[in-house]
Amino acid sequence: MKKGKKLYEGKAKIIYATNDKNLVIQYFKDDATAFNNQKKSTIEGKGVLNNRISEHILSNLSQIGIKNHLVTRLNMREQVIKLVEIIPIEFIVRNIATGSITKRLGIEDGTVLKEPLIEYCLKDDKLGDPLIAEEHILAFDWASKKEIEKVKKMILRINDFMIGMFRGVGIKLIDFKLEFGRLKVNGKDEVILADEISPDTCRLWDSITDKKLDKDRFRKNLGDLIPAYTEVAKRLGILHEQSNVSAVNVTKLSSVKRK
């Protein structure tokens, strides 16, 4: 497969064309941003870890029938993915209240929600990804009623699966963000899971200590982001126990070929 020109550059990833019009390459950068790009940094090794963790989660999701864009991981920073038309909505799923919802609604941090809560944000950096209602999605044709219903069903299955997967390795899945895209299958649009699922897009707390193992380490200046992401990867069985946590070692480890 030949890598072609850059099609799109986001805050944490770059998309490149390939010689197959249906496939693109997703490159994971080391850039970290928060608060709609107001806080920025580069954290060596982050992209490598997110590539591996996201590959692991998306391939597990395909095994339970959740269709997604991942075709294969190419190397330590790149994946081949299906080209989709991204639905311009960030779907936020919350199991425990923390982050923006606590400030917005005055909910106590750590409140366990009776049921998973799905929130919608318009994917628009210039507007700061504003929170919207399902009615806005329909009013402005960002997605159809049928697509939203399908996405909601997928989200609840993804959430159940991921809660179990993380619980099994001593991690609480607090909340996360998903994106979906449209794929043409036999002339018809099908909605599939897209983007990435990683500690950049989830809140993950150690089950016993509540230690933060996600991008809040960057957002809240807690430090040690690479050791935290490495811990997540190790617990999921992606990296081996003997590996050290420095970015350099992460880089070395990640060049080891997949089984």
Write out the residues near ligand TMP by the rule CB under 6 A: 92, 99-101, 129, 175-177, 201-203
Distance CA 212, CA 57 (A): 19
Q: Which residue is nearest to ligand TMP (CB)?
A: 99
- Give whichever of 119 and 190 is closer to ligand TMP, judged by the CB atom: 119
Burial grade of 198 (CB within 10 A; 0-12, 13-18, 19 or more): buried
The DSSP output letter for 112 is E
- Give whichever of 137 and 253 is closer to ligand TMP, judged by the CB atom: 137
Q: How far is the CB of 100 from ligand TMP (least distance, A)?
A: 3
- Give whichever of 91 and 253 is closer to ligand TMP, judged by the CB atom: 91
- Give whichever of 45 and 199 is closer to ligand TMP, judged by the CB atom: 199
Q: How far is the CB of 89 from ligand TMP (least distance, A)?
A: 12
Secondary element (H or E) of residue 194: strand 188-194
Q: How far is CA 233 from the centre of its chain?
A: 14
Q: How far is the CB of 54 from ligand TMP (least distance, A)?
A: 12
Q: How far is the CB of 154 from ligand TMP (least distance, A)?
A: 17
Within 10-99, strands assigned E span 13-18, 23-28, 31-34, 39-42, 70-73, 78-82, 85-86, 89-96
